[in-house]
Structure 1
Amino acid sequence: MEYTLWARGLRRHYGSGPSLVRAVDDVDLAVAPGETVGIVGASGSGKSTLLHLLGGLDRPDGGEVWLAGRRLDGLSETAAARVRRRGIGFVFQAFHLVDELTARENVELPALLAGTSRRAARRRAEDLLERVGLADRVGQLPGRLSGGQRQRVAVARALVNDPGLLLADEPTGNLDSAAATDVLRLFGALRAEGRTVVIVTHDSRVAGTADRLITMRDGAFTDETVLGRPAAGSAALAGLDL
């Protein structure tokens, strides 16, 4: 089988001697096309560090990361940035939207950076914002949006270049219960349509959208559970054809 994402012997350590921290310690991971993998564990277990390594945002001290058959960890920063721009969509707990840009401009920015024409990027951004329920907010700045709305903009932005892999780091971590439910439905829709997703989360409801759940402790994987997959036509996913 060819995997969308594959990592072997991945390590990231900080410090030395008695102060050595094994943030990620000899991790192996293979994610199949269309699979949603949830990674859970206590704070400080290494989840976010692992996600940054998998997405090429940080370099490992050892091991390999492969994305769609191409080794990512050995690329120059410029080459890695090109791969990330086209091949990976990121969703962060803190949204990381550009405050001076409207919702539409935030979503279309990665497409413009990838070389898409302004007209096509705008059309794609508006389509995605409509699909995440924000058609009436395209011209709003992030400061005028609720936390849940900002995270939905972030999800739309992550999808604008139609990446083969979506990486999400605590996507409901800064949201209240109602907003988290909206974002949960988005990830349920992504799973139902067969996108490849890796989610780091403390939220058991988000973890429940995964096909496979991996527990992490002290930088290593300690347990793995295969979960059931809900029907794609579930009422909870109605109207979210992403």
Structure 2
Amino acid sequence: CTKLISLPNELGNLTSLTRLNIEWCSRLTSLLNELGMLTSLTTLNMKYCKSLTSLPNELGNLISLTTLNIRGCLSLTTLPNELGNLTSLTILDIYGCSSLTSLPNELGNLTSLTTLNMEWCSSLTLLPNELGMLTSLTTLNMKCCKSLILLPNELGMLTSLTTLNMKCCKSLILLPNELGNLTSLTTLNIRECSSLTILPNELDNLTSLTILDIYGCS
């Protein structure tokens, strides 16, 4: 619905709703606070709502939510701290949210999260240390986060992680030694991380690793 500019307040009355798809509503600039009343919701898909500038804090009330997809919301500059209340969330996809400059520390509360996709979040410069608390995480995709300079040492606490993709993180100058603690890791992609000058010796500890891609680390 590419011409839709607003949603009716009455959507908040749909308390049995489990899935809401507002994909490609490219003229929506904001969402209703009343969406926070949809406490049966398990999937919220807002892909490519390119004009959204913010998300309501009330989304933190959606305690049944397992999948949150805000891929391609190009105008979002921040995420509400209240997203940290979504403790049932298993998938968070913020691919292509290229105006995001930071992530809330409260994301560390999402201890059920298994997949975090931050690909093409090209304005992120740092990640919160609290990401190390995501102990259920198996897939972390940071491909083309081109402004990332450093990674938190706490990423070494993600002992369930099997896939770590940092391809084309061209500003990344150093990998933390603690990555050597990721003993479940099977795939590590640091292809075209052209500012890296050294790899930590501790990568020798990654005895489950089957794929290591360091192409173009010039």
Task: Give the structure-1-normalised TM-score.
Answer: 0.26
Q: Larger relative CO (CA 8 A, sep 6+): 1 or 2? A: 1
Task: Give the structure-2-normalised TM-score.
Answer: 0.28
| Structure with greater strand share of residues | 1
| Structure with greater helix share of residues | 1
